[in-house]
Amino acid sequence: MIATAKGESKINSIGNGKVKFLSLDITDGAAVNKLMNEVKPDVLLHTAAMTQVDECELNKIDCWNTNVTATRFLIDSAKETKSRIIFISTDFVFDGLHGPYKEEDEPNPVNYYGSTKLAAEKAVIQSGLDWAIVRTVLVVGNTEDGQRQNILTWVKEKLEKGETIKVVDDQVRTPTYVEDLADGIILILEKKSKGIFHIAGKDTLTPYQIARQTAEFLKLNSKLIEKSDASNFTQAALRPPTTGFKIDKAKKELSYQPHSFNEILKEVFE
């Protein structure tokens, strides 16, 4: 198994030595083609993206190059190597007006990040390759040094420092444990499943509810959490209000069984 990223590996140990790391800038088409033809992977799992929503809105050229052009480079090389492609996408391809969403619902992104992920999805679908698309929502889990925080680790850090935090209660998500996302991808690989799959958590929660439950689980001061809404934040990009996913297809076709949110808290913090 080969893992790639731009620059040096930020993961201390990959697969107990069973995974080889190679540096790759996926926005460099020549480098992508060279590596793909050297490795000739059976399956290309494409997880790389520019995902900071406000940064994408402010740096649209970089966002498009990373999320769309790079995906097209990978598709072109996968055609040469006859590789299967599994592409990781997002709930932000939807406008959030009618969530939670099933796979057949019509995408309608409200920000530039979502529009680039939708464009990349279309490129995958139209590629002629053997493909699957995995959409997921608000991924949470443990982090190693140097990795970006998620809402659980952010709440823990802030409250342990005694800092007050404002968290929105007018957005709805189905938070996804990173291990469940990995399991969903593995099931798609094992079953050689094709098409779009929504891989997410069991429970529908607002970020404020997530923060409160995290504080209560860790026995931290939940009075430091202030309920807010999106209008109180100055952000470059709009956020879809109600996304989250219906995961009936994944349960039926993949036998996917995610953790409940309370189980996620136990897995992450215990």
Burial grade of 169 (CB within 10 A; 0-12, 13-18, 19 or more): middle
Q: Measured between alpha carbons, how far is 258 from 202 in angstroms, rounded to an integer?
A: 6
Hey, which residues does 225 pair with through a beta bridge? 165
Q: Measured between alpha carbons, how far is 86 from 48 in angstroms, rounded to an integer?
A: 11
- Helix 151-160 vs helix 261-269: crossing angle, to nearest 10: 60
Cα(first)–Cα(last) distance of the chain, in Å? 30
Q: Of 112, 113, 177, 208, which one is the catalytic site residue?
A: 113
**Is the Cβ–Cβ distance between 165 and 158 less than 8 Å?**
yes
Burial grade of 229 (CB within 10 A; 0-12, 13-18, 19 or more): middle
HEC profile for 146-167?
CCCCCHHHHHHHHHHCCCCEEE
CB atoms within 10 A of CB 23: 12
Q: Measured between alpha carbons, how far is 178 from 143 in angstroms, rounded to an integer?
A: 10
Q: Is 256 a catalytic residue?
A: no
- Please give the structure tokens belonging to residue 96: 């959030």
Question: Which amino acids are annotated catalytic?
Answer: 113
